[in-house]
């Protein structure tokens, strides 16, 4: 049986790093893609994944990645994790450059990657039965919340790529999977969103009993890609038990209500 190869973006930290580890543990070859070459080198040493440094907001970098992949073997899965949020402002106070950055990293990077890698994914599907394109979006794509409009809009845009692509590729053995996590506590997401304010970032998770962590999402990603080839998990929405909705969080211990 051919060893399947996945390209994982955003692999230098958080969910992307965890997904790289989970896929390597379940037998995949992985090309780990991110901007930070030093972090990728550590991951390569730890897991045996192949590191590839690239800025996915640059078309030249995406084209070079596609050319390098074509010269080094088959591609069976694209796992697009790279993305992020900047700011928690009301619409009237939002910074256009923050919104533009979010659109670039969450939406346009996904479109660039699909356009560049789809020919190779088709080849992988033709030779080995099926291929996968998996997007990690967010529950922010499903429900708006005050102070989140820029990220809501960007993640909703990314989600629509997945929905449209599934229709456009109907009839081909290529699965389109969307994983939409709710609150995930990672070292960098809230910190980057809130301009490096460590106290504000910590307060996001204050009192939440067991928020999701990157490994939880990575387990779901690996499960989806390792499912039988005829099974497509269109949309997986996952939240910690303490988060019943995008805006409804239980802060404090979870307890059974007494009669």
Q: Cβ(156)–Cβ(110) under 8 Å?
A: no
113's CB contacts (< 8 A; 6+ apart) are 7, 9, 56, 62, 78, 80
- Residue 192 pLDDT: 78
Is the model's pLDDT at 27 over the cut of 80? yes
- Residue 202 pLDDT: 84
**Exposure string (b/e) for 87-103, b if CB count within 10 Å is 16 or more?**
bbbeeeebeeebbebbb
The neighbouring-strand residues paired with 238 are 181
- Residue 73 pLDDT: 94
Give catalytic residues, as residue numbers.
Answer: 151
Question: What digits encode the pLDDT tens for the residues 195-242?
Answer: 888 888 788 888 888 999 999 999 999 999 999 999 999 999 999 999
Do strands 131-136 and 174-181 pair parallel, antiparallel, or not at all (unpaired)?
parallel
CA 92 to chain centre: 28
pTM listed for this prediction: 0.93
Angle at which helices 214-226 and 14-25 pack, to 10 degrees?
Answer: 40
- Residue 193 pLDDT: 77
Structure tokens at 193: 């969103």
Nearest to 93 by CA among 140, 150, 142: 150
The neighbouring-strand residues paired with 33 are 9, 52
pLDDT band at 12 (very low <50, low <70, confident <90, very high): very high
- Residue 74 pLDDT: 95
Q: Give the Cβ contact number of residue 207 at 10 Å.
A: 11
Helices (H), the chain: 14-25, 37-47, 59-72, 96-103, 109-128, 149-168, 189-193, 198-204, 214-226
Q: Cβ(153)–Cβ(98) under 8 Å?
A: no
Nearest to 84 by CA among 172, 164, 187: 187
- Residue 259 pLDDT: 78
pLDDT mean over 163-179: 98
Please give the biggest Cα pair distance in the chain. Answer: 65
- Residue 35 pLDDT: 94
- Residue 1 pLDDT: 54
pLDDT mean over 84-111: 93
SS3 content of the chain, % helix, strand, coil (to 5): 45, 20, 35
- Residue 258 pLDDT: 86
Q: Cβ(11)–Cβ(18) under 8 Å?
A: no
- Residue 186 pLDDT: 85
Question: What digits encode the pLDDT tens for the residues 104-137?
Answer: 999 999 999 999 999 999 999 999 999 999 999 9
pLDDT mean over 35-60: 96
């Amino acid at each position: 049986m051919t060893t399947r190869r996945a390209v994982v973006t955003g692999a230098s930290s958080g969910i992307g790093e965890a997904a790289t580890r989970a896929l390597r543990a379940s037998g995949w070859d992985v090309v780990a893609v991110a901007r930070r070459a030093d972090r990728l080198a550590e991951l390569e040493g730890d897991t045996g994944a192949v590191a590839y440094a690239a800025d996915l907001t640059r078309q030249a970098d995406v084209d070079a990645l596609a050319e390098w992949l074509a010269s080094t073997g088959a591609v069976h899965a694209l796992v697009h994790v790279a993305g992020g949020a900047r700011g928690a402002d009301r619409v009237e106070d939002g910074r256009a450059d923050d919104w533009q950055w979010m659109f670039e990293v969450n939406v346009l990077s996904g479109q660039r990657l699909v356009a560049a890698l789809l020919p190779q994914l088709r080849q992988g599907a033709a030779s080995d039965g099926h291929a996968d394109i998996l997007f990690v979006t967010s529950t922010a794509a499903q429900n708006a919340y005050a102070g989140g409009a820029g990220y809501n809009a960007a993640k909703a845009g990314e989600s629509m790529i997945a929905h449209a692509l599934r229709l456009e590729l109907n009839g081909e053995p290529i699965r389109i999977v969307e994983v939409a996590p709710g609150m995930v506590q990672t070292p960098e997401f809230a910190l980057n969103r809130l301009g490096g304010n460590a106290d504000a970032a910590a307060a996001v998770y204050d009192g939440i009993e067991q928020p999701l962590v990157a490994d939880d999402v990575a387990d779901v990603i690996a499960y989806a890609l390792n499912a039988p080839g005829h099974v497509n998990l269109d949309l997986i929405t996952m939240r910690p038990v303490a988060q019943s909705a995008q805006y409804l969080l239980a802060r404090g211990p979870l307890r059974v209500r007494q009669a």
